[in-house]
Amino acid sequence: MKKRVYLGLGTNLGNKKGNLENAIKNIQEIEGIELTGISSLYATAPWGKTDQEEFLNQVIEIETDIPPLDLLKKLQEIEIKMGRERKEKWGPRNIDIDILLYGEEVMDFEELKVPHPYMRERLFVLVPLIEIRPELVFPDDGAKIGEVLAKALTIEKMEDIRKI
């Protein structure tokens, strides 16, 4: 059965817009994936490691029946194909593709945690996500995306994210 899956995409090296377009094209080429939603592009300050270029971020919605760990592997293959090098945690990257939500599932594997463990703190995930799915409810605790975004805004400011 197909699941509705949300992916967070980010880049802060090279042709940022081109990197996101290329990543989406590669994702769409995976057999068993249908692109069903795409947010606007958002420019954001770096998170975690702040002494680097600003990021361009986007969230996409797909439908797929690919099992979560297999999907993760395919997304990591795209990152590698696009030249991603993992040199430092939260460091600069030409592409980052994260599984944010996978249907109504909650999972805690060593290599994959869903919902994504940091997504509730990150405006660069929540703002594009609410744009494409304003009625979204988190599967782990039933929180509504609007409530989660309001809480995140008590920590970060909307000035920290700009719609492109």
Per-residue pLDDT tens digits for 25-37: 999 999 999 999 9
108 given a catalytic annotation:
no
pLDDT for the residue numbered 36: 97
Q: Out of 65, 86, 93, 140, pick the active-site residue.
A: 93
141 given a catalytic annotation:
no
96 given a catalytic annotation:
yes
pLDDT for the residue numbered 83: 83
Q: Out of 4, 65, 86, 98, pick the active-site residue.
A: 98
pLDDT for the residue numbered 161: 87
Low-confidence ranges of the chain (pLDDT < 50): none
Q: What is the pTM of this model?
A: 0.93
Q: Out of 96, 122, 141, 160, pick the active-site residue.
A: 96
Q: Which residue type is seen at 41?
A: L
pLDDT for the residue numbered 40: 98
Q: Map out the domains of the chain with their CATH numbers.
A: 3-163 (3.30.70.560)
Residue-wise pLDDT for 35-69, tens only, equals 999 999 999 887 666 667 899 999 999 999 999 99
93 given a catalytic annotation:
yes
pLDDT for the residue numbered 88: 60
pLDDT for the residue numbered 52: 74
pLDDT for the residue numbered 87: 64
